[in-house]
Amino acid sequence: MKTRLLHLALVAAVAIAFTSCGGNKSSESSEQPAAPAATGAAVDATTAGSVTGTITLDGKAPAAKPINMSAEPYCQKAHSSPVIPPEVVTGEGGALANVVVYVKDDMSKYSFPAPSQSVPLNQQGCMYDPHVVALMAGQTLEVKNDDQTTHNIHPMPKDNREWNKSQPPGASPIDDSFARAEMAIPVKCNVHPWMKSYIFVFKNPYFAVTTKDGKFELSNLPPGTYTIEAWQEKYGVQDQTVTIGPKESKAVSFTFKASGPSGD
């Protein structure tokens, strides 16, 4: 009788354990066929407007721990002062850099061929530059290694093909692209674990990444009402709605609070 109870208890415990499995860690990308190219109309430049603005940080960002580069003497020597992770980078007046601003709405009624020029992602001083990259689906990402040490570039998308390529010093640039739109693809270097960046892939050209002046411009926008979204790595996303008329330029600003939620 006791043995039967023991068996039952163990089976129940294992069943409870497995039913509490969560799907909160996803590490596999499912290869889905890319959406067929839109055959929409071109944007009428005679009526197009723009949205401009500034992103700022309200308050002071918490002090970040400097990166420990002692695992690689070359990397350590490349910097004369401690390197702070570029999670929150501010300029004058609290201007926030590395914020991705984009039109959230479906723009598939227009056609936007991928630009022929590549978007650079450099590895310099054992850090990615820029920290956040945005490009269009099908546009070439050109990865260069300016360091005298080996890096590996490992984007980990969920909706695109994952790849992991090594790049020794002096190697040719690595060219690759992403077939599908995807937000915040993490990129890491498994040789130097502190190296991180993010790649945003869009189907349309209405996106911008702010620099230290915190400014952005989304130009050549057809008249209409749009949801403009701003993404910041630590502080998450914010939306604003804006309506622009023919050849009209409107300004929207976003302010992230330094005490706000983490941008996970």
Partner 1 sequence: MSGIYRFRAVHRFALATSACTVLLLMAGALVTSNDAADSVPDWPLAYGKIIPPLIGGIRYEFTHRVVAGLVAILTLVLAIWLARDDTRRWARRLGWTALALVVAQALLGALRVLEGHPAVTATSHAILAQLFFITVVSLSLFTSEWWQVDVPPMDDSGSPGLRRLAAWTTAVIFAQLILGAAFRHGAFGIAPHIVGAGVVTVMVVWTGRAAKKRFARIPAIRRSVIWLHATFGTQILLGGAAYWAILASRDAPQPGLTYVILSVAHVLVGALTLAASVLLTLICFRLVRPAESLAADSTVAHSQAGGR
If one asks whether residue 46 binds partner 1 (CB under 8 A), the answer comes out as no
Would you say 151 or 203 has its CB closer to partner 1?
A: 151
Of 72, 105, 129, 248, the one binding partner 1 (CB under 8 A) is 72
Of 47, 48, 52, 74, the one binding partner 1 (CB under 8 A) is 74
Q: Which residue has the tokens 């497995």?
A: 18
Of 131, 180, 192, 203, the one binding partner 1 (CB under 8 A) is 192
Sheet of 249-257: strand order equals 215-221, 49-58, 249-257
Q: d(Cα 187, Cα 49) in Å, to the nearest integer?
A: 34
Would you say 97 or 103 has its CB closer to partner 1?
A: 97
Is the separation of the CB atoms in 225 and 243 below 8 Å?
A: yes
Tokens of 213: 């002046």
Instruction: Tell me how far, at minimum, the Cβ of 8 lies from partner 1, in Å.
Output: 12
If one asks whether residue 76 binds partner 1 (CB under 8 A), the answer comes out as no
Of 144, 154, 158, 215, the one binding partner 1 (CB under 8 A) is 154
Q: Which residue has the tokens 């992991």?
A: 164
Tokens of 188: 């890491």
Which residue in 107, 140, 134 sits closest to 35, CA to CA?
A: 107
Of 59, 71, 104, 257, the one binding partner 1 (CB under 8 A) is 71
User: Is the Cα torsion angle 105, 107, 108, 114 positive or negative in sign?
Assistant: negative
List contacts with partner 1 (CB under 8 A). Answer: 2-3, 6, 10, 13-14, 16-18, 20-28, 64-65, 67-68, 71-72, 74, 85, 87, 149-150, 152, 154, 162, 164-166, 168, 188-194, 196, 262
